[in-house]
Chain A
Amino acid sequence: MKTTWLKSSIAGIALIAATGGAWADKANDTLRVAFTKELENVDSFFNSSREGVVLQRAIWDGLIYRDPVTNEYKGNLATSWEWIDDTTLEFKLREGVTFHNGEPFNADDVVYTVNFVSKEENGVKTQRNVNWMESAEKIDDYTVRIHLKEKFPAAIEFLSGPVSMYPDEYYAKVGPSGMGLEPVGTGPYKVVSVVPGQHFVLEKNENYHDSPKGQPEITNIDIRTIPDVNTQMAELFSGSLDLIWQVPADQAEKLAEMDQFTVKNESTMRVGYLSMDAAGRSGESPFTDLRVRQAVNHAINRQELVDALLKGQSKVVWTPCFPSQFGCVEEAAKTYDYDPEKAKALLAEAGYPDGFTTELYAYRDREYAEAILSYLNAVGIETDFKFLQYSALRELNMKGEVPLAFLTWGSFSINDASAMVSQFFKHGSLDDARDDQVLADLTVADSSTDPEERIEHYAKAIERITEQAYWAPMFSYNTNYVYTNEVEYTPTADEVLRFTTMSWK
């Protein structure tokens, strides 16, 4: 440590003396990006963060690729696929692809990856991403079958998202920890170095196959974790960062006024909602009364929240899912106009002419939660506001001890309604509605292979959920991307930075 320090200090001083500062970006063909959160592990099966998804899309490939703009599925490591029966998918694999370490890509890699990640004891962090797969079977070197545990129509979406293909020999040798430190994939960028949680350096894969992701243009990507947004902005001003994202709305507004930066706002799949204990799991709960839940829905001025706080591409959401998701039928959702008088009348009808007091829980975006509670106060619902760590709130939620909570869900960027509505309304530990009719519809919708049938039953479930006002869905989130004018980039609506679509102007 000491000697490298001395060396780097001398090098650092020399560099600063020579260039008057280490501020060169385009000239070195290096794009410098900041992450806010420390990424737990680069191995994409062993993290559950947005930063992890960004690296996953750069380092690895899936069998299938979904175009983030048209939502059309295209072959990536597979060239074609077909359903053999309801639970068997057959893939023809692309030939001539090699991993960054030179290992050729073939059916063995797919078989190894699928068999490894689908086993629960191997501890893949987000089980839902992989636990629908039973196993994989090699037919020949470039033909492979994936067997599903049961009917799972969203398989294609998952295979185009979180399920990346790993090199079998290397992964068998190094495992998740080794993969996290020295990742090897087939993707458009190779990993040069990883300092866990802090610093990630990527380099263009010159031999990248003819992928629908497109060829990488920028040679080097240098990602540092800078926890403080103000520091990120300072780095941007001093010319030592080129791109930051997840910038808060008020900061982004200021940056947009400066000529040297491009500020783009894009929607994300995250939906904010109020969840109410309709089933009475937390004991005597006013929310078991439909009129109270309707009153809550009428009490909140969603448009005002969007205009004043979230801004950007955020929209009012009425569905218990993100509207772009397959099956998230917006027309099926009942809407509740902002009408505090009606809310008060409904409360009076339900036996609360003077309102009542309830606990309101939240775990993020305190200012949004506070705005929401002031709307509730205005119609007579007094709140005992509790702001907790996510894990603590989650635990209470699972025990059914939360009467009212402001929650959000990002669906892991999976463009299928099953990733949201089915997570919360199928009588699981987080289901505060426990509605059998909804369960029946979602069960059909989640497992049918007929798209029409799926849409029909998701629509029914959404209709029932919103008529019963189990939730008060409120708004979608957005994120701000800020980059120097030298960078050419069009962010997509799924909150994933795609380095292959970035270039210098």
Chain B
Amino acid sequence: MLLFISKRLGLAILVAFTVSFISFTLLFLAGDPAAALAGETASGEDIEAIRKLYGFDRPMLVQYADWLLSAIQGDFGESYYFRLPVAPLIAERLSVTMTLGVCGITFALLTAVPLGVAAAIRPNSFIDRLALFLSVAGQAMPSFWFGLILIVIFAIQLGWLPPSGASSPMHFIMPTIVLGYYAMPAIMRLTRAGMLEVLSSDYIRTARAKGAPEGRVLFRHALRNAIIPVVSLAAVQMGFMLGGSIVVESIFALHGAGYLAWESIARNDLPTVQALILVFSMFYIVFTFLADVLNAWLDPRMRSS
């Protein structure tokens, strides 16, 4: 097990650095960082001055090595745009994104798994149709539109919730629903499909035949097996939510890490983008790892292999 973990960890570090190197190269190809930094009102001389000041006139590999050395020591440098150290900037934004991500995935799981189970118990029933309708709607509705509809209903018409911002838990209700609803359909369909397959298997028939109560059959025998692919999917969805909640963060003015990444790319703010990409890739790695551990716990066969 220890060997397994250290192997995975070594691989994870390699993946993180490959990702950071590729992103570094891509950012350089995307546009002149000095021109982006100088802003719209700068003259050619301003841009040249900035190029020298930030060392953009050096070879790209030297700049990357420079960044890498500092990053290893935990120094992510200063944001070109904000002129503030990157680490606290990202930490502050991540707390918003993490809150949103955890709430979103919880909401998605709490709605999708019960719905998927219910739909699988009675295929083609009203509840199955309802679940299908909800998942199709969730997949088809763009989040910016759904977000605005919620704002119109709950913030403007009813006045129950604040339209945007992050200053209280109330502010997170609508973003959680929008973000969670986006992840829900896939989780629900997978739960339903998994349950349908498991419910028709021999060991469920055996369990029922020996007279096990239906609840025990469903949750102890069936769901435990059906949920395994769902755990992996949820881990990927969680990673996606942390890095990709740009639209939701933008609509609800949540100033999270996703929005920061999006904006920083447009601003060619290399230190911020680099640090964020590293953090996001770490998230994916950590969540996939956790999902594997969780699956191993759910399925003893995985533990032995």
Q: Chain A residues in contact with chain B, CB under 8 A?
A: 1, 5, 8-9, 11-13, 16, 20-23, 38, 40-41, 43, 46, 48-49, 120-121, 123, 125-128, 131, 176-177, 180-181, 196-198, 224-228, 230-231, 234-235, 237-238, 240, 388-392, 394-395, 398, 410, 412, 423, 428-430
Contacts and interface: CB of A to CB of B under 8 A. Distances in A.
Given A22-B162, A394-B35, A234 B152 contact: yes
A230 B40 contact: no
B82 interface: yes
25 contacts: A11-B168, A12-B167, A13-B170, A38-B263, A43-B83, A48-B39, A48-B40, A48-B41, A123-B53, A127-B46, A177-B84, A180-B82, A180-B84, A224-B253, A226-B253, A234-B152, A234-B155, A234-B156, A234-B164, A235-B163, A388-B31, A390-B35, A390-B36, A395-B35, A423-B43
Main secondary structure of the interface of B (DSSP, over half): helix
Q: Which 3 A-B pairs have the closest CB atoms?
A: A12-B168, A391-B36, A48-B39
B82 A392 contact: no
A361 to B, nearest CB: 13
A121 B53 contact: yes
B288 interface: no
Given A12-B167, A196-B82, A227-B259, 14 more contacts: A21-B159, A48-B39, A48-B41, A125-B46, A126-B38, A131-B45, A196-B84, A227-B253, A230-B251, A231-B148, A390-B36, A398-B35, A398-B47, A430-B43
Contacts of B38: 48, 125-126
B245 to A, nearest CB: 13
Contact of B148 (A227, A230, A238): A230
B151 interface: yes
A231 B53 contact: no
Interface in B27-68: 30-33, 35-36, 38-47, 49-50, 53
A1 B167 contact: no
B81 interface: yes
B192 interface: no
A428 B169 CA distance: 53
A429 B47 CA distance: 11
A391 B268 contact: yes
A430 B44 CA distance: 7
A127 B31 contact: no
Contact of A228 (B41, B165, B250): B250
B164 A235 contact: yes
Given A1-B95, A234-B164, A240-B163, A12 B32 contact: no
A238 B170 contact: no
Contacts of B165: 224
A334 B163 CA distance: 51
Interface size class of B (residues with CB under 8 A): 35 or more
Given A22-B162, A48-B40, A123-B53, A176 B266 contact: no
B36 A389 contact: yes
A225 B164 contact: no
A413 B46 CA distance: 18
B35 to A, nearest CB: 4
A1 B96 CA distance: 10
A388 B31 CA distance: 10
Nearest to A176: B83
Contact of A127 (B32, B49, B82): B49
B253 A225 contact: yes
Given A22-B162, A197-B82, A398-B35, A228 B255 contact: no
B257 to A, nearest CB: 13
A429 B253 CA distance: 38
Contacts of B81: 40
B76 interface: no
A69 B266 CA distance: 36
A430 B38 CA distance: 15
Contact of B31 (A48, A234, A237, A392): A392
A291 B192 CA distance: 69
A40 B43 contact: no
Which of B32, B250, B259 gathers the greatest number of chain A CB atoms within 10 Å? B32
B193 interface: no
A16 B41 CA distance: 44
